[in-house]
Amino acid sequence: MSLSRDFIKFSRQKGVIRFGSFVTKAGRTSPYFFNAGLFDDGNSFNALCGFYAQAVLGSGLAFDMLFGPAYKGIPLAVGTAMRLSEAGVNVPFAFNRKEAKDHGEGGTLIGASLKGRVLILDDVISAGTSVRESVNIIRSHGAEPAGVMIALDRMERGQGKASAAQEVEEIYGIPVVSVATLDDLISYLADTPELAASLSAVQAYRDAYGTHTMQ
């Protein structure tokens, strides 16, 4: 089984991906829901970071360190750095805090100094606010963003014809890599008889709101 298929299967078993009727932040009624916050125990989060590490290494992206935007990106950066280390790739990591401290180490950054090519890790890209803030932080320290790694690319149009991930690629000139995409989810549904009832609904949702990427 492919990495994306393994990830979707695991996410479904954990209840991270659910099927039914859900209202998104954009006000759309979606036939599926992805909540990475439900990777909420040691075993499942360790596995999640393993998927990130495999996807990062498989992407061929050149990077020197990891950055996790507060708050969801923080454990992802730490956990993925650990899983990369297990695979023989030892890279530093850093993350930011929302509010600057005026005592102790001070500032808004924790971890290694931002240097070289910095890979941003987050769970999903919605409005792109987290990515914009991360890119600004990285560049303000003289480093360069190498790309963005997310769990699931929903491949949904934003305000225009492009998806949030495509907009990030166009605006900042950096690649967005995901463990799985909406197309991967549809392929999984097509091959999973007990979920056949959800297949047509997800396909219709993609037809109505989705974009298509080159595979």
Domain boundaries, the chain: 3-209
Q: Look up residue 200 and give its two tokens.
A: 């047509």
Q: Determine the pLDDT at residue 188.
A: 96
d(CA 172, CA 50): 27
Residue located via tokens 């969801």 = 72
Determine how many CB atoms are found less than 10 A away from the CB of residue 108: 13
Fold type of domain 3-209:
Rossmann fold (3.40.50)
Active site residues: 101, 103
Q: What is the DSSP-derived secondary structure letter of residue 62?
A: -
Counting Cα atoms < 13 Å in the Cβ hemisphere of 22 gives 14
**Residue 116's pLDDT is what?**
98
Residue pair 181/213 in contact (Cβ under 8 Å)? The answer is yes
Residue ranges in the chain whose pLDDT is less than 70 = 1, 100-107, 127, 212-215
Q: What is the pLDDT of residue 129?
A: 82
DSSP state of 80: H
Tokens of 47: 């596995």
pLDDT of residue 215: 38
Sheet bearing 107-111, strands edge to edge = 107-111, 93-101, 65-68, 117-121, 144-153, 176-181
Tokens of 214: 């080159």
Q: Per-residue pLDDT tens for 11-32?
A: 999 999 999 999 987 788 999 9
Q: What angle do CA 80, 120, 72 make, to 5 degrees?
A: 70
Q: Tokens in use for 189?
A: 């549904």
pTM: 0.92
